[in-house]
Chain A
Amino acid sequence: MGYLWLVIALPLAGAVTLLLFGKRIGEPGAGTLASSLVGAAFLIALVGSYDFITGSGHAEVVSGFAWIPGLGIELALLWDPLSSMMTLVVTGVGALIHVYAIGYMHGDPRYGRFFTYLNLFIASMLILVLGESFGVLFIGWELVGLSSYLLISFWFEKPSAAAAGKKAFVVNRIGDFGFLIALMVIFAEVGSLSYGTVFEEAAEVMTTGTATLVTLLLLVGAAGKSAQLPLYVWLPDAMEGPTPVSALIHAATMVTAGVYMVARTGALFELAPFSAGTVATVGAVTALYAATIAIGQRDIKRVLAYSTISQLGYMFMGVGAAAYVAGMFHLVTHAFFKALLFLGAGSVIHAMSGEQDMWKMGGLRRLMPTTFATMVIAWLAISGIPPLSGFFSKDEILAVTFDKGGWFVVLWVVGIATAALTAFYMTRLMLLTFWGEPRWDEGVAPHESPRVMTAPLIALGALAAVGGFLNTPFRLGRLGAGLEHFLEPAFEAVEQAHLPAAGTQWLLALVSVAAAVAGIWYGWRRYVERELPAEEGGVWDSLLAGYRVDDLYGRALVLPGKKLSEAAAFTADMKVVDGAVNGVGALVTRLAAWLRPIQNGLARSYGVGILAGAVALVVWLLASGGGS
């Protein structure tokens, strides 16, 4: 499997090439090159996954070179079903989005640079998912953060874009703070950061307390990267980036890294039930919370951003409930339909000359048929309408959660409520965008996007439609449980949650479909009218502002932090610390000035000095030597 390195090397090479020669290669060469490299990586990954698909493969560690010998970190890759699945998603969806971007970024002055960053991101993400140790995972973890920063603030002339990029990186760093400490604890306990060693020895060396500590710290990291409460605030702002970026990084791949990490470290979470429960709870609460905010958004991308946060909450709920397969399943389907939604939204924005406010759209369905059609698939998929992909994956998470009983039943209720809200806000989005009368600004002439953009839409539409059959919960023989079997080797060491009995499953599915239908129905009723509801004031304003959490953070953390920093810099440091230093200097000078009058110019007083010294010396010597 040595050729696995190629999967990372190809996009990395693309990034380096484009960094150096991007401008010379120009448009569309840069995009084509980048896309084909990612596509090639996908093909290689596909070849590598073949054995897993047939069920005959087994996990393999592809060793590289010792990176930080003292910490035992080797740059090694782990090729197992979990990483291969992630690789396929990243390269597959990534390639489609690359292709889309060829059209979307048309005419941008930094066209080549954009694909540099995109390729860099793909490479980073692959390092993240393919790494065989926490160390390598962390490299990828930080590098995707970097790519995300670069891409969010790609249009850095816009101060809001620059600020958003910085915010994303900093908030992620806060999560990384937890992650980093987790790594310290793991290393202190086990003496290695390699997955194999850690998972093997964790059960022996870690007490439940330590395991809980480690996993909670990991959760902090995951919550940062996957935009969960309370660290989600960067993701809505990240929509400042170009839309392909939102689709690739902030919907399909990077933000799911947290989910991936929890799944990957299942062996640790298994030792710490409390942490697992916390993960699920955080996920459920985030899911509901973000869904409510999504309802109030006017910016099409911000709806999708909050939707992403909400959907990631589902995934957390799943992996927290030890339903790793279900969590990963939702990750895959979500990658399909959310990427599709973003790309569709991008297509709309492209068509609307950059307009993102849904209140200024409307009636686009005839003008943009392809976009519209694919968006409908995604809409229904995310709402959980069978047999589209979202239904199966979401339903599996909910069913497994329900089956765990106890507290998890409460989470299930939250999940159902979220499902209803999801259906509602997606319906709102669709109706505001595609139905009704045009509310366009003047001079806007919507048109369908070029082929290079619609082709990925179609591909993703197909995936979103049928993706659910990767793993139907109803276990229709071997075919239906494909993903579960595929992933089985990756999770055989950990105890997984079970699906409830078939009867219960049907019942639960019915409830969730009912919730979805209810949401769609209410949304349809509300927005299909010519006269749109006002949606202003009171609750709506609060929702639009995301419960003003940004303000709150600003007032509670950023502002005091700045005040503290200013106090430290301009009072503590300049006045106190440096003041003390200069004070010593001033003291010496003062002493000197104070001593100067002794030298008064009077010879007689100098004589007094001599005589006094003489008397003192005589007395001293008499006292010490004259006695005996």
Chain B
Amino acid sequence: MQDIAFLPIGPEIVLLGAALAVLMVAVTLDLGHRMWAAISFTALALAILLSWAQWIRVDDVGPQLNYGGEGVRTASMVVMDHFSALAGIVVFVVAALALLGAWPLVESLERRGAEFVALALLSIAGLHTMAAANNLILLFIGLETASISLYVIAGIVREQPNSDEAAMKYFLLGSFASAIFLYGVALVFAGTGATSIYGGGVEDFVNGNLLNLLVNGREGVLMAGIALLVVGLGFKVSAAPFHQWAPDVYQGAAGGAVGLMAAGAKVAGFAAIARVLAGAFPLAVDIWAPSVAAVAALSVVLGTALAIAQSDLKRMLAYSGVAHAGFMLTALVGAKAGVPAMWFYLSTYAFQLLGAFTIAAAVSGPRTGASALDEYRGLAARSPVLAATMGVMMLSLAGLPFTAGFVGKVGVFAAAVEAGFLWLAVVGLVTAVAGLFFYIRVIVLMYFQQPVLAEGPGTATAAPEPSDHQRIVLGVAVAVSIGFGLVPWPLLNLVQHALPL
């Protein structure tokens, strides 16, 4: 029996502990949300620091499996490499900001706010587990931990008419996708004899390092397994055609909660996809890349086309999220070579998405589901700060130069071209232009049009102001979008190293 290395699972421990602490404190002492905040943000800060420490540790001693003994193949459940460390940093930072942005919601939930905070912390732990898992079963557990918490979060505001519908759809479809993912794990296991990825896992099997005579001739099972893994994770990141839950859930869920649900799940989902495809099966890239490219193409086209037709901001962002999922998958057709591009895109996109949803929460209220585009009419005159921030988010999401979105797009397309998928890059670029239409439309509404002054549905005369929490979130989102647009080099250099083992 060897010592357990705690650093790789440190963040999870901290977060789970914090979640329990919040629950217990809430049950036993009525200290209010300040206490929850203290606990959860300390935990998140700690998690970020631990992830950072992981990065440094990997720098020093190289990637590690948390527990690796000769011949004990089942033992190494978690992998600590730059990939997981970066995933930790991004997930925790995004999640911390998301939680901050959700704080008006937490306050409005009163006592039940603790539930929300605890669930959020649990889901964050699950999200990071997805990225750090070295075992597909652990990945599944992380996925479920995150998902189950998010199902609840989706429906947390029970008074909101559509939130139960959102939760129900999310739950049913999510469970369905999880089951499919799990079946994929089982098939991979049947095809390779392993559920872990490294250290005598499927990666070695595919590399040909692991000769398991028993599974000879079962490539088909393995392939079907990979396909189902992609489906399960594709659902999480809302890639087409597994995306249909996203618009309904985003629109139905409380404005304050969507940021965490969307941004967090996207980051972890993509980390997991990259881990599975580029980490576990890089050598089968020629087999899976065309189908991933097809999913990517379908996602960008379908997401963009449907986003054009939307009249609700959150729905529009959901569809645009489908398109963005497609863009990130575009990078992954290059397997490992595409991972840095994916990371750059992912880590900046998460902030933009968070920023946009936070504005939606500020404009339409943290508990409300719908966020009609008409509410943004003439916003520039009513709330210049919100409008300007939203403008930046839209431009960055659209991928215009001097925003992080542009650098991200160039990166993913370059990766695709490098991998020989020029057609995918062209499809992506042309759709990106079509996408410009709906991002620009938000700016048109905010800047070029007057607010509708008459009373009635679809009108807006209020001058919403972001809360202080939201201001911080927005500040960071703008800083990331513009900062990494103007000076992307630090992040670009960082992500170069964040390859899966």
Contact = CB atoms under 8 A, between A and B. Distances in A.
B241 A618 contact: no
Interface string B233-244: 011000011101
A626 B224 contact: yes
A601 B235 CA distance: 17
A538 interface: no
B180 A614 contact: yes
- Chain A contact residues: helix, strand, loop or mixed: helix
B226 A621 contact: yes
B7 interface: no
Contact of A595 (B222, B234, B284, B302): B302
B499 interface: no
Contacts of B248: 599, 601
Contacts of A627: 219-220
Contact of B306 (A592, A605, A612): A592
Contacts of B245: 603, 606
A302 to B, nearest CB: 58
B264 interface: no
A127 B287 CA distance: 77
Nearest to A596: B309
A606 B244 contact: yes
Contacts of B235: 610
A593 B284 contact: no
A622 interface: yes
Interface residues of A, number: 30
B305 A620 contact: no
B476 interface: no
A606 B305 contact: no
Contacts of A593: 309
B177 to A, nearest CB: 6
Contacts of A606: 169, 173, 244-245
Contacts of A596: 306, 309
A610 B241 contact: yes
Contact of B223 (A585, A588, A605, A626): A626
Nearest to A603: B169
A585 to B, nearest CB: 8
B380 interface: no
Contact of B287 (A610, A614, A625): A625
Given A614-B228, A625-B284, A609 B241 contact: yes
A591 interface: yes
Most buried by B among A596, A622, A624, A625: A625
User: Could you say which interface size class chain B belongs to?
Assistant: 35 or more
A235 to B, nearest CB: 54
A546 B234 CA distance: 84
Contacts of B20: none
B120 interface: no
B290 interface: yes
B176 interface: yes
A56 interface: no
A628 B219 contact: yes
A259 B411 CA distance: 69
Contact of A617 (B247, B291, B437): B291
Contact of A622 (B223, B290, B295): B223
A598 B302 CA distance: 11
B141 interface: no
Contact of B288 (A603, A609, A612, A621): A621
Contact of B173 (A591, A607, A618, A628): A607
Given A603-B168, A614-B227, A626 B219 contact: yes
A610 B242 contact: yes
B309 A595 contact: yes
Contacts of B370: none
Contacts of B91: none
Interface in B161-176: 168-169, 172-173, 176
Nearest to B229: A617
Interface in B283-301: 284, 287-288, 290-291, 294-295
A175 to B, nearest CB: 48
B220 A622 contact: yes
Interface of A: 585, 588-589, 591-593, 595-596, 598-599, 601, 603, 605-607, 609-610, 612-614, 617-618, 620-622, 624-628
12 contacts: A592-B307, A599-B306, A609-B242, A610-B177, A610-B235, A610-B242, A613-B231, A614-B231, A618-B224, A620-B290, A620-B294, A625-B284
3 shortest interchain CB distances as A-B pairs? A626-B220, A625-B287, A592-B309
